[in-house]
Structure formats: structure tokens, C-alpha cells
Structure 1
Amino acid sequence: MKKLILIYTLLLFGFVGAQSIKYGVTGSVHKSSMPGIHGVGKPAWGGNIGVFADFALVPNDIYDSAWLYFTPQLEVYTMGEKGDWNEDKINYQKYSNVYVGVPLYIKYYLKNQGYKGDIYFMAGPKLEFLASEKTDEGNAVNEALAAGKDPKLFGLGQRMNKFSYGLSVKAGAKVAESLEVFIRFDRGFAKIYPDYTAQTTYNRFLAIGVSYYLGESY
């Protein structure tokens, strides 16, 4: 986590000479999952809270007229799902993890008659660090062994990567002077279970949320 905070701080200092800087807080709710490992998985509800800064990459001569920004974000969010290794739909395994992440977005506002509009799109890489891990597999490992199955083939008893990376995209709209709403999709590319080789494992979630601007400097 210290490394991620250092990265975010360096990014902020690296853009202190930008045309303008807008900053604020953001939050969302999402459904997350970890495909490819826990048998028949069920997405889990989770949340996200963070801070962000918009660094204008184009001239901002008129108040809030810039239409292209670099937007780093520092956030805390939950990821997880329910698994069902033998697909009996009775006893589910539960996986609930907390991450600290740094998405690095490019933010583009659509233009309306040559001026900055209210609709925007964002995309960029995301770095994430596993802050806490909570796994409740019950008696699944023993049940698999008793059935003559190898628990590892069903993703049971696996260790997790502490660091991973992926891609985050957003689409949103300005609904008030300091308020924006958005939908967001994140997809990991790093294996979250490094010892599991049967399939590729990764994090993903689909979210809806809001961003609120606290201030701006020129």
C-alpha cells in the first residue's frame, strides 16, 4: 500500500504545472466476481470510495473549459464472490477481499458545438494492492477429498497475489456544477491465484457511482 501511495503522490507532483487541477471524492457500488476458479460462482455486491484529481491536458483559458484531463485516483474497494465447487447449490464458499487501487485515467469530454459538453469517457490502467483477504470455504476441502477429488482443481485452498493490474473504463455525465454520475467496468489482467493453472483467474466488476468536486486551482 505504501508503494501505491508513493506512486499517487509522485503523479500529483509531476503534474503540478498543469493548466488547472480539479479534485474531489468519488464512490460507487458494484457487483464483483473472480471468474475461472470457484466452480459456479455468484457475483458479490461491494463498494468503492476514493479521491481523485483532474489535471487539464489542454488550455483552460475559460473557466472549466478544458475537455481533456489526466485523472489519477486513489481508492479502497471490496472484491469477492460466492463459489460452489460441486454445484450442489447448498453450501457456498465465500471470498471477500479489500484492495487499495490506483487507476490512471485519461478523461475526455465530448464537445457540443465546439465547446466542452457534459458527457465524458475515461479509460486507463489500474494498479491494485491486496489489503486484506477473507476466505470462508467451510468444509469444502474435506468434502472434495472425501469425494475423491483434488481440491486444487476446484480452486480451493489457494493463495492470492498481493499485487495485480488491469484496465478500468468509465462513461459518465455532469448533472450539476460539482456532481457527476458514471458507470464503470474494471477487468484485471494479472492472475489473482498464481498457483492455479487450470484456467486464468482475474478480478472484474461493474459499478455505478458518483464523483463530487471539492475544489479547483488554476
Structure 2
Amino acid sequence: MRKIITISSLLLFGFINAQTVKYGVTGNFHKSSIPGIHDRSKGIFGGGIGVFADISLVRNEIYNSAWLYLTPQLEFNTQGENAQMPGQETQKYHNNYIGIPLYIKYFLKSQGYKGDIYFMAGPRFEFMVSNKVSGPVSLTAHQEENIEKFGYGISAGVGVNIQNRWDVFIRYDRGFSKIYPDYTKYTTYNRMLAIGINLYLGESGF
């Protein structure tokens, strides 16, 4: 509880002292899967799109000099996996999610100046808005009838600013909540490896 209060206080302090808010749109191309379940699972490729804001947590002494940000993001992602049994057609488990990553974004500094390379990490929350299953019945189908729509985990990545308005990044998401709560042999969770771009649309100051 004390850690939660401390972290909340630091974030609130950052909001109060924020000097700039930059906002934009983000998109990614990824491969996702749900480990530990289905017959012979293979990840599938998908895409995502969303919006984000970079809220500076340190003073912006000169234009674009802040090196630490809180970056909330709202995104839509297609996720899931396929499975293939010998001699059978492909089993498909395709899920669509609304995700909310909350990153702390840290830019490397060189001789006191903000650099172009940054690291980001933070919790990620997700809600399944649709799921579609097709193909032969899975060997564990009776344990897959109950599916958890809300999930949580962590997201981390590294990126580089290639122009004032463009970032490119690579990120990895790892869920900690079970997708299929009735399946007990292994922990089933979402995972995703993505490459993407951020386009900054504007900036406001305080």
C-alpha cells in the first residue's frame, strides 16, 4: 500500500509540474500468441492503432528538452493465434482488444542534452471487445468456454526519434492474467512483439 501511495504521489507531482503535453497517433505491426494452450499453437500477425500523449515529468527549460515523460496510450489491437493438428484444417483463435498502456518514457541524454533514443516501460490493461473461434474443435475446448475479457500485464520497449514529429519503436507486451481461467495445466496469457511508429500532431504548454 505504501508503494502505491508513493508512486501515485510522484505521478501527481509530475502532472502538477508538467511543462508540456505532446500528443499524436500510433500504429504497430505485431505477432501475438497465447502460450500454453490449444493443440499446436502458432502466433499470428496483426496490427494496432491508437492515440497517445507525452506528459513531461521534468521541467522543459528550452524547447523539447524534457527527458522524462508519462505516456498514457489508448489503442485497438488484433491478437490471438492459430493451431494446426496433423491432417486437419487450421484452428483459429482471433481476439480484438482495447488496450491502455501507461508508460514511463526516458530519453537518454548526451552532455546534458536530450537524446533521440528512449526507453519505455509500464503496466498495460486490456479489454477484449470481440473473439472469434473457427476450425476444428480444440482438445481443450471444454476448458476454453470461459474466457476472461479483462487482462493486465506489462509493456516495455525502446524507440528512436527520427524527426521532430516521428518516432519508431519496438516493444514487447507480456500479460500476467489468465485468458482461460478454467484451464489449469499452464498459465494462459497474451504476449505480443511489435514494431511501430508514433506521429506527433501537436503540443501544448503549461
Q: Which runs of 5+ in 1 are unaligned?
A: 1-10, 142-150
Question: How many aligned positions are there?
Answer: 194
TM-score, normalised to structure 1, is 0.84
- SS at structure 2 position matched to 1:196: coil
Q: Counterparts of 2:25 and 2:87 in 1: how far apart (Å)?
A: 39
Q: Extract structure 1 runs of 4+ deviating beyond 4 A.
A: 154-157
Taking the aligned partners of 1:52 and 1:16, their CA distance within structure 2 comes to 19
Aligned pairs (5 A) from 1:27-176: 27-84=27-84, 87-88=85-86, 90-136=88-134, 138-140=135-137, 151-152=139-140, 157-176=144-163
Residue 88 of structure 1 deviates from its aligned partner by 1.2
Name the SS of the counterpart of 1:140 in structure 2: coil
Q: Which amino acid in 1 is paired with 2:131? A: E
Q: Is 1:206 matched up with 2:196?
A: no
- Asked whether the equivalents of residues 144 and 180 of structure 2 are also in contact (C-alpha less than 8 Å), the reply is no
CA-CA distance at 1:15 after TM superposition: 3.5
1:183-216 deviation line (CA, Å, top 9, x unaligned): 0100100001111111100000111100010011
Amino acid at match of 2:202: G
Contact 1:100-1:129 at 8 Å conserved across structures: yes
What is the distance in 2 between the residues matched to 1:197 and 1:156? 9
The structural deviation recorded for 1:177 is 1.2
Bigger mean CA offset, 155-164 vs 177-186? 155-164
State the distance in 1 between where 2:22 and 2:125 align: 22
Counting aligned pairs with the same residue, the percent is: 59
The TM-score normalised by the length of structure 2 is: 0.88
C-alpha distance in 2 between matches for 1:209 and 1:25 = 11
Contact 2:101 2:123 in 1 (8 A): yes
1:19 corresponds to: 19
Instruction: Decide whether aligned partners of structure 1 residues 89 and 18 sit closer, same or farther in structure 2, where only a CA change above 3 A counts.
Output: farther
**Match of 2:174, as an amino acid?**
R
